[in-house]
Amino acid sequence: MQKISKEFGSVFCGKEAWTEFHKKMEALDPSKVFVITDTHTRQHCSTLFQKHYDFPVTPIFLEMPAGEINKKIDQCVTFWNELSQYGADRHSVCIHLGGGVVTDLGGFVASTFKRGITFINIPTSLLAMVDAAVGGKNGVDLGYLKNQIGVIQDPLFTLIDIDFLDTLPEEELISGYAEILKHGLIHSKEYWEKAVAIDFSNKSQLEQLVWDSIEIKHDIVRKDPREKGLRKTLNFGHTLGHAIESYCLKEKDHQTLLHGEAVAIGIILACHLSFQRHEFPEAILTDVCDTIQKHYPTPFFSKTAIHEIVELLAFDKKNDRGKVCFVLLSDFGTHVIDCEVPTEQIFLAFEFYNKLNS
């Protein structure tokens, strides 16, 4: 069993992870066990969970509609009410079985119910395994604005079972892959090349890549848990990626993008901004564009859309005193944080991006 332990949480991956799960549950001796999930995960993943769940307290499933559009405070209120109705107390445990929406929202629900009850993350999507379920960030969107409300609170532990990925549609698997590509860019050329060469049908290779990605994120979070400096590098590609995702959620006539799809576009834009401002190698920029175009949709954005996306940057969580702060690179693993970028350079990056498909 592969294992990462730290003072504020643990991650377990491999065949013995479920054994560790039951040891932890026995030590907790919870009064009640709640499983927060969504409609898709309940349908496709609950059987595998029930197969491994061997604990005398029967779990109570709480279900939400699937999709980022439902990651709202109203859904938290529904879950808080249901926890109260079922008699949850501070000795109860919440298990979050699902993708990034479930682990983000579920972590916020558990962290705030009765001022905090123990929770466990069991991510079922690649995105959640390598990003959302690890690192302690929990929260919800405010309208169409991403992750505006939340807390940093680690789960008791996170259980990684690669078998859950067998339940994913291909587009969801590829969505999570964007975060792995991001880790490659912010970490090293070696990991980037390993990520680009992945054979998704090779389960052992995929599991190792997932674990390596978790270790990269864990090391960063361990050094900077409150995001004062180094942890900001995990936002590479996300400043514009989140704005694009919010724009697509807001504009019903525009193509909706999954989180990873929006981040993939954000990575292209961030690499081009890095090329403009910090001599990021053009050869790497070209490699990034080729890789992302191979796996992701790259829709065209009109000038009006770009203006609206740029306006949405005003709501980015990393802003400081009204200034939009980007994470950029000068090479693999060489970061430049808290970068102010002139609007005209953002438009140049979008112009470069739009020409990729022309």
User: The domain at 174-355 falls in which architecture?
Assistant: Up-down Bundle (1.20)
CA distances from 326 to 59, 181, 311, 329, 338 (A): 43, 18, 15, 10, 6
CB distance 285 to 356 below 8 Å: no
Q: Measured between alpha carbons, how far is 95 from 89 in angstroms, rounded to an integer?
A: 14
pLDDT bin (cut points 50, 70, 90) of residue 317 is: confident
Q: Give yes or no for residue 7 having a pLDDT over 60.
A: no
pLDDT bin (cut points 50, 70, 90) of residue 162 is: very high
**pLDDT score at 5:** 65
**pLDDT score at 122:** 97
What pTM was computed for the model?
A: 0.94
Q: Give yes or no for residue 11 having a pLDDT over 70.
A: yes
**pLDDT score at 70:** 96
99-135: pLDDT as tens digits: 999 999 999 999 999 999 999 999 999 999 999 888 9
- Buried/exposed 312-341: b ≥16 CB within 10 Å, e otherwise: bbebbbbeeeeebbbbbbeebbebebebeb
So where are the chain's domains? 2-168, 174-355
Q: Give yes or no for residue 251 having a pLDDT over 90.
A: no
269-282: pLDDT as tens digits: 999 999 999 999 99
Take residue 337 and report the two structure tokens written for it. 């944080």
Q: Give yes or no for residue 9 having a pLDDT over 70.
A: no
Give the pLDDT mean for 49-77: 96
**pLDDT score at 303:** 96
Q: Measured between alpha carbons, how far is 27 from 30 in angstroms, rounded to an integer?
A: 9
**pLDDT score at 68:** 93
Q: Give yes or no for residue 1 having a pLDDT over 70.
A: no
- 2-168 folds as Rossmann fold (3.40.50)
Q: 174-355: same fold as 2-168? A: no
